Amino acid sequence: MPVVKLADGELNYRIDGRDDAPVLVLSNSLGTDLHMWDAQIPGFAEHFRVLRYDTRGHGASLVTPGPYSIEQLGRDVLALLDALNIDKAHFCGLSMGGLTGQWLGINAAERIGRLVLCNTAAKIGSPEVWNPRIDSVLAGGAQAMRDLRDASISRWFTAEFAATQPEKVEPIVEMLAQTSPQGYAANCAAVRDADFREQLGAIRAPTLIVCGSADPVTTTEHGRFMQERISGAELVEFHAAHLSNVEAGDAFTLRVLDFLRG
């Protein structure tokens, strides 16, 4: 896959769709990579030039010493757009990717067209949640990532979906097992430290907030909090846990496309 050279390493990306179509950037969740969006690509690429990338610390992208910040991840996106001569793009991010989207909407409004914030919150978790996970991953390395893989199934997917759709679940959770422990821990710190609760009102991009009714991590209440503070924001809820794009599948794709196409 192609890469963009940043000051401190390479950012892995992939483009699907027509060169003359509007650009849509997709940003992965913590512990996955750009392939978490595979099911959306056939639909999205019919209408958009779809730019996916592996967030720093994930997939085939650079792993630099942590901790990271959401600002750092947002600036990586801007560097990617600059390198590809893209002035403005729509942006869709899930969980950690949704935090990156919030940062871009607040701090780089001129670069963002429409904004889709999926299974995310203005603040996700607390240091009491994140610090033990960071410590255990840094101490346990690859084995700790495999342990996280098993523990994450119940957070990422409903029990019914995990039981009946293993062919969709397994490739996604395996991404977590293959994630760099150092990169994962550094991104955990970025999520831990992000708090946009007082800044959401600065987002002016047309915004769609996507929630999962069975999401134990970023709840529908978190979504409504953002909706109330982002002017004109729409909210949609699917029967899904944390990775609604995988679990809701075609329904997710069609609703997001409907929003992005105005």
DSSP 115-157: EEEES--SS---HHHHHHHHHHHHHHHHHHHHHHHHHHHHHHS
Q: Any residues with CB less than 8 A from the CB of 87 and at least 6 apart, and which?
A: 81, 111
- Dihedral angle of Cα 67, 97, 245, 19, to the nearest 10 degrees: -130
- Give the CATH number for residue 151: 3.40.50.1820
Mean pLDDT of 161-172: 97
pLDDT 10s digits, 135-153: 999 999 999 999 999 889 9
pLDDT level of residue 184 (50, 70, 90 thresholds): very high
Pairing of strands 49-53, 112-118: unpaired
How many domains does the structure of the chain reveal? 1
Domain that holds residue 162: 3-260
- What pLDDT is attached to residue 1? 79
Hey, CA dihedral for 57, 113, 93, 197, is it positive or negative? positive
